[in-house]
Structure formats: C-alpha cells, structure tokens
C-alpha cells in the first residue's frame, strides 16, 4: 500500500486533532459518517485474537470510519471469494510450524485425518471443493507423509504421536491460509493484500529477516549499519555452549526464538550471563551478542514513504563487573513496548539522539529495492516496524539494525 506525496510525519498536534475529532463522535454518528462517504474503503481482516485486540481498537476503528474506511472480519469457514468485496485484505494469522518439525508433522496430520475417518481421499475431496492449490501440495506431500509416518512410529511414543498430530493440523491450516490468500490475490489483482504471503516469509525468521539488512551497503550515508554478532541454533541444546565458544560470541547473549509468528512465545527473550546455562535454552533460537546502547532504543514505522521514529526504554547496559557477578539465563519481559515510551523522558542527548533521517530514508529505500528485486514482483510498498539500538561509542551514528544492524526486530506490524 503506497502513501502518495511527501514523507509525512504524524506530529503530536495532528494526533491531538484526531483524538479530539474521535472523542466528539459517538458510535452511531460514525456509521452515518461512513455512509456519507461516496467511496468507502472496505478492509477485510484475518488477525489472531491477540493482534485484533492490540491493533483493531475501538478508537482506531472510529478514526477509520471518519475517513470512510470500514474494517470487516473475514470468515475462515467460508471461501474468501464468497465474501467481500474487499479493497484491502489485512492478515496476520500466525505462521505454520518450522520445517524442522514438519517432517514428523505431515505423518501425524495424515493419521489425524484418517483417525477422523474422513480418510485421505475424503480430506482431499473436502479441500478440492475449496478449489485450493493446497490439494496438489498435499498429494505431493503424501510421499513425505508415508516416510515420515514410518520414522515417527519408530521414534516417538504414542503421547508424542498425538501431540504432533494436533500440531500438524495447525501447520496444515497455516499453509492453507497462505495458499488460499495467494489464490485469491491472483484472481483479484484489484484487491491489495497486506502483505502477500510470499513477500513476508523472510520476516518470520530472525535469521532470514536480517540477511537483506546485513548485506546492504550504506557507506557514507550519515552513519554506519552494523550487525550484532549472532548464531542460529536449530536443534541440539546440549551443544550450544561449544557452538558459542567456536563462534567466538562474547557474553552476555540475548536468546530469541528463531521464528517470529506473532505468538506470545515468539517474544520470550532471555539474557544469558554464562555459557554453561545456555543448555537450558530451547532451540530453534538465535543467540545474539548483547550490545550496550544506553538503555534507549528506537522503533521505526514505515508505510510506503512515510517514516515515523519513536524512542523507547530498553534493557540497561551490562558492565564487565556485573557480568562477573551474575550467572545463568534469565527471561526478561517485553521491555520496549508501547508503554515504555521515552519520547518525553529527560535523557542524555547522546543516548536520546534519533537516528539520522537520511540514513533511515536510504535504508528504507535500499530494503525496499532488495525485497522487490529478490521477489521479482511489484510488491506494494511494505508496511513494517523495525527496532534499533545505537552505539555512538563506535564513532558517529552507528545503527545496530534489528538483529542485523541496530534493528532488533524487523517485522511488519
């Protein structure tokens, strides 16, 4: 979705005006206001309960109605093409499980289907009535299912078996949503899908989301873009300590789930002060060197060409003395959420200084080019959020973007 015109900054005055306008509107009025619009924009949404609660708040819906924008829930039990018509589809329904677990999953899903006495044929018939391309994938997966079934039967007890059966159905549904949405998008090119499933795959993984960022060349652009050293651990927790030593990572380390699927679990982060305790962590995960940054971080929101930066409180610096006094792995809360705003805080200017605008603009532009070129598609300009920490001690504006450089989390809202 592209915003036209100059880079727009929604300043505090503007926000106060919107707040006043919204507060003066009752719910019923807003409906008449919407009906008064000659051209409404209908946004179909498919969001997790968590995301619906945090994103689609009543005040936001009211503001949208005053602009002629109406949000309509998508009914998962009915084909998309029987719903709408939509101008935009906004979705974040969680992601299928990582492939690493998938090997056992299809087998168990297969058994779940048989167990439900639909039989594999019945299940395929059911899918075929929804004209989903998913059917072909499932037929193709049958070979993998048979092999995985045998492995699963050999390797897992019945309890694990049942657990994986259940997990499988979620994984199959997760994939199916992406395929149904992609089918719909191809058949309805006039509808803007935010964002196309293929386009956002890379930001569901804390390793792949940074590969594009780490590869950017932003030299001589009002600052540097560095990447905190990190290590991906996909399976065996007992080998983490030796892997960390081999990779030369320096303590303390931040441990983050490898996959970012919108679940609360994907935000469960740990601070590790010693190597031995690392074996208590649960792969798949990313281990990242902790970067001292003065306890303040920056969140950047990009929609089209619009860039908005906010300051947030962050984890405090960890000094060498403190490191020698602590041992173990500690989960920490979501310290930099919206409630941790530092915009009005009285901070040391060196810490509070916002990332240079030209650097942000160049970065956003470069990222967009890389994403679009790597996808060979005209991707409607992405909306995404990114978190930064700044390490001025490296000289000048040094943005540690996500897990790539200064941006710790690069994902779409």
Ligand X SMILES: Nc1ncnc2c1ncn2[C@@H]1O[C@H](COP(=O)(O)OP(=O)(O)OP(=O)(O)O)[C@@H](O)[C@H]1O
Going from the C-alpha of 127 to that of each of 85, 108, 133, the distances in angstroms are 23, 18, 9
- Member of 79, 383, 385, 392 binding ligand LIEVCTDS (CB under 6 A): 385
On the 0-12 / 13-18 / 19+ scale of CB atoms within 10 A, 4 is: exposed
Is 256 annotated in some ligand binding site?
Answer: yes
Residue 130: DSSP 8-state: T
Per CB under 6 A, does 262 bind ligand LIEVCTDS?
yes
* Nearest approach, Cβ of residue 298 and ligand LIEVCTDS (Å): 11
Residue number, 206 or 299, with CB nearest to ligand LIEVCTDS: 299
Give the separation between CA 92 and CA 395, rounded to whole angstroms.
39
How many C-beta atoms lie closer than 10 Å to residue 89's C-beta? Answer: 25
Q: Give the E-state strand segments of 352-397 in sequence order.
A: 383-390
Nearest one of 165, 178, 366, 363 to 261, comparing CA atoms: 178
Specify the DSSP element, H or E, that contains 72: strand 69-73
* Nearest approach, Cβ of residue 411 and ligand LIEVCTDS (Å): 6
Per CB under 6 A, does 311 bind ligand LIEVCTDS?
no
Is 400 annotated in some ligand binding site?
Answer: no
CA quadruple 43, 49, 50, 54: dihedral sign: positive
Residue number, 183 or 212, with CB nearest to ligand X: 212
Residue 406: DSSP 8-state: B
* Nearest approach, Cβ of residue 386 and ligand LIEVCTDS (Å): 8
What residues from 62 to 121 belong to the interface with ligand X (CB under 6 A)?
none
Per CB under 6 A, does 91 bind ligand LIEVCTDS?
no
54 binds, among ligand LIEVCTDS, ligand X, none (CB under 5 to 8 A by kind): ligand LIEVCTDS
Q: Which stretch binds ligand LIEVCTDS (CB under 6 A): 48-56, 132-140, 185-193, 317-325?
A: 48-56
Residue number, 70 or 227, with CB nearest to ligand X: 227
The 3-state secondary structure of 287-351, one letter per residue: EEECCCCCCEEEEEEEECCEEEEEEEECCCCCCHHHHHHCCCEEEECCCCCHHHECCCCCCCHHH
Per CB under 6 A, does 209 bind ligand X?
no
Per CB under 6 A, does 291 bind ligand X?
yes
Q: Is residue 336 within 8 Å of residue 314, measured between CB atoms?
A: yes
Is 217 annotated in some ligand binding site?
Answer: no
What residues from 228 to 267 belong to the interface with ligand X (CB under 6 A)?
228, 254, 256, 267
* Nearest approach, Cβ of residue 206 and ligand LIEVCTDS (Å): 11
Per CB under 6 A, does 51 bind ligand LIEVCTDS?
yes
Give the separation between CA 136 and CA 240, rounded to whole angstroms.
39
What residues from 338 to 397 belong to the interface with ligand X (CB under 6 A)?
387, 389
Q: Torsion over CA of 248, 251, 257 and 262, rounded to 10 degrees?
A: -130
**68 by DSSP, 3-state: which?**
coil
| Beta-ladder partners of 254 | 271, 288
Is 376 annotated in some ligand binding site?
Answer: no
Is 297 annotated in some ligand binding site?
Answer: yes
Residue number, 20 or 320, with CB nearest to ligand X: 320
| CA 368, chain centre distance (Å) | 16
* Nearest approach, Cβ of residue 116 and ligand LIEVCTDS (Å): 31
Q: How many chain residues touch ligand X (CB under 6 A)?
A: 20
**256 by DSSP, 3-state: which?**
strand
CA quadruple 99, 104, 107, 113: dihedral sign: negative
Give the separation between CA 144 and CA 171, rounded to whole angstroms.
15
Is 68 annotated in some ligand binding site?
Answer: no
Residue number, 161 or 301, with CB nearest to ligand X: 301
Is 267 annotated in some ligand binding site?
Answer: yes
Residue number, 175 or 387, with CB nearest to ligand X: 387
Contacts to ligand LIEVCTDS by CB under 6 A: 50-51, 54, 92, 260, 262, 267, 299, 337-338, 385, 409, 411, 413
Contacts to ligand X by CB under 6 A: 228, 254, 256, 267, 269, 288, 290-291, 293, 297, 314-315, 334-337, 387, 389, 408-409
Q: Would you list which residues are annotated within the binding site for 1D-myo-inositol 1,3,4-trisphosphate?
A: 267, 299
Q: Would you list which residues are annotated within the binding site?
A: 206, 256, 267, 288-299, 314
């Amino acid at each position: 979705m592209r915003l036209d015109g100059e880079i727009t900054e929604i300043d505090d005055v503007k926000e106060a005006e919107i707040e006043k306008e919204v507060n003066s509107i009752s719910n019923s009025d807003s409906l008449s206001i919407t009906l008064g619009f000659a051209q409404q924009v209908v946004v179909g949404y498919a969001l997790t309960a968590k995301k619906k609660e945090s994103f689609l708040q009543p005040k936001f819906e009211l503001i949208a109605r005053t602009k002629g924008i109406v949000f309509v829930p998508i009914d998962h039990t009915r084909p998309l093409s029987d719903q709408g018509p939509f101008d935009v589809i906004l979705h974040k329904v969680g992601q299928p499980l990582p492939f690493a677990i998938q090997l056992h999953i299809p087998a168990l899903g297969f058994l779940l289907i048989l167990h439900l006495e639909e039989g594999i044929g019945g299940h395929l018939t059911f899918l075929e009535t929804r004209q989903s391309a998913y059917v072909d994938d499932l037929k193709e997966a049958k070979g993998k299912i048979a092999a995985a079934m045998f492995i699963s039967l050999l390797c897992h007890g019945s309890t694990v078996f049942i657990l994986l059966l259940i997990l499988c159905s979620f994984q199959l549904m997760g994939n199916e949503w992406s395929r149904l949405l992609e089918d719909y998008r191809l058949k309805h090119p006039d509808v803007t899908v935010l964002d196309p499933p293929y386009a956002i795959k890379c930001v569901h993984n804390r390793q792949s989301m940074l590969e594009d960022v780490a590869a950017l060349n932003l030299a001589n652009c009002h600052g540097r873009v560095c990447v905190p050293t990190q290590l991906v651990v996909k399976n065996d927790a007992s080998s983490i300590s030796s892997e960390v030593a081999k990779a030369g990572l320096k303590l303390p380390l931040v441990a983050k789930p490898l996959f970012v699927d919108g679940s609360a679990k994907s935000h469960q982060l740990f601070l590790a002060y010693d190597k031995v305790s690392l074996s208590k962590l649960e792969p798949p995960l990313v281990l990242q060197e902790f970067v001292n940054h003065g306890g303040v971080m920056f969140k950047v929101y990009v929609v089209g060409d619009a860039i908005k930066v906010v300051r947030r409180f962050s984890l405090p610096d960890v000094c060498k003395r403190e490191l020698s006094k602590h041992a173990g792995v500690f989960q920490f809360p979501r310290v930099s959420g919206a409630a941790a705003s530092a915009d009005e805080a009285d901070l040391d200017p060196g810490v509070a200084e916002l990332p240079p605008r030209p650097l942000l603009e160049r970065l956003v532009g470069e990222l967009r080019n890389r994403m679009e070129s790597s996808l060979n598609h005209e991707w409607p300009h992405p909306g995404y959020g990114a978190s930064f920490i700044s390490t001025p001690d490296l000289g000048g504006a040094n943005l540690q973007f996500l897990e790539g450089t200064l941006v710790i989390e690069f994902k779409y809202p």
